[in-house]
């Protein structure tokens, strides 16, 4: 019989999506998240978000993506709480009902990357309060492997490079802690 227990900590990261003209809103959003989860561990370069025009009408183009993680690992059971918090930050920073930043929290483990979402699909697992978890990438044979539903931007070498750096930092930190 299996036994219950605590989860191994994971690295909490955010995908910040924002119009180039709203970098101040993105930094304010990140500051609020850092106030909740602590200092930044790593930040990717800004990556042009050219994979979809879904956000253009609401936010305006051009849109950038920044992948960032926090320094200290977290209990992964708090993923839904992270999404609820980031949704509130998005609402707080909106102007005239339009978001100026989109925050996509996720968890990075040595073997996988999980995103939080409010959109229900067959491959997503309900957590709580309308928040779902999606296994988005697997780390196998030295690289990130997308799944059939992985978003196009998360399939790119730019994302893989930043996520791999986050993974390496996280693994080194875990090794030092043992």
For residue 52, give its domain range.
11-177
Residue 156 corresponds to which tokens in the numbers above?
A: 């790119």
Reply yes or no on whether the pLDDT at 176 is more than 90.
no
Flag whether 1 is in a domain: no
Q: If pLDDT is split at 50, 70 and 90, which confidence band does 150 have?
A: very high
Q: State percent of the chain over pLDDT 90.
A: 92
Q: If pLDDT is split at 50, 70 and 90, which confidence band does 86 have?
A: very high
How far is Cα 86 from Cα 104, in angstroms, rounded to an integer?
A: 8
Flag whether 5 is in a domain: no
Flag whether 81 is in a domain: yes
Contact 52, 58 (CB under 8 A): no
What is the mean predicted confidence (pLDDT) over 147-157?
A: 96
Flag whether 169 is in a domain: yes
Residue 122 CB: number of other CB atoms within 10 A? 5
Coil, helix or strand for 165? helix
Q: Please give the residue that has the higher pLDDT: either 1 or 155.
A: 155
Q: What confidence score (pLDDT) does residue 177 get? A: 76
pTM above 0.75, yes or no: yes
Candidates 176, 172, 175, 170; CA nearest to 74 is 170
Q: What confidence score (pLDDT) does residue 96 get? A: 93
Contacts of 76 (CB under 8 A, 6+ apart): 7, 8, 9, 10, 107, 109, 114
Flag whether 73 is in a domain: yes
Flag whether 118 is in a domain: yes
Reply yes or no on whether the pLDDT at 178 is more than 80.
no
Flag whether 4 is in a domain: no
Determine what percent of the chain falls in helix, strand and coil, rounding each to the nearest 5.
35, 35, 30
Instruction: Please tell me what DSSP assigns to residue 46.
Output: P
Flag whether 6 is in a domain: no
Task: Tell me how many domains the chain contains.
Answer: 1
Q: What confidence score (pLDDT) does residue 174 get? A: 84
Contacts of 105 (CB under 8 A, 6+ apart): 12, 13, 14, 79, 82, 83, 86, 115, 116
Candidates 80, 100, 78; CA nearest to 89 is 100
Separation of CA 171 from chain center: 18
């Amino acid at each position: 019989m299996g036994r219950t227990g605590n989860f191994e900590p994971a690295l909490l990261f955010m995908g910040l999506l924002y119009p180039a003209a709203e970098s101040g809103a993105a930094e304010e959003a990140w500051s609020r998240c850092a106030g909740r989860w602590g200092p930044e561990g790593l930040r990717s370069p800004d990556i042009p978000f050219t994979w979809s025009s879904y956000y253009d009408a609401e936010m305006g183009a051009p849109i950038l993506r920044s992948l960032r993680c926090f320094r200290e690992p977290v209990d992964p059971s708090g993923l839904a709480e992270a999404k609820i918090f980031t949704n509130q930050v998005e609402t707080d920073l909106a102007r005239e009902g339009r978001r100026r930043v989109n925050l996509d929290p996720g968890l990075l483990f040595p073997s996988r990357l999980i995103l939080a979402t409010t959109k229900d699909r067959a491959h997503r697992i309900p957590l709580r309060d309308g928040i779902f978890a999606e296994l988005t990438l697997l780390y196998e044979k030295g690289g990130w492997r997308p799944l059939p539903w992985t978003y196009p931007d998360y399939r790119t070498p730019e994302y893989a490079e930043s996520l791999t750096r986050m993974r390496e930092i996280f693994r080194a930190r875990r090794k030092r802690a043992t």
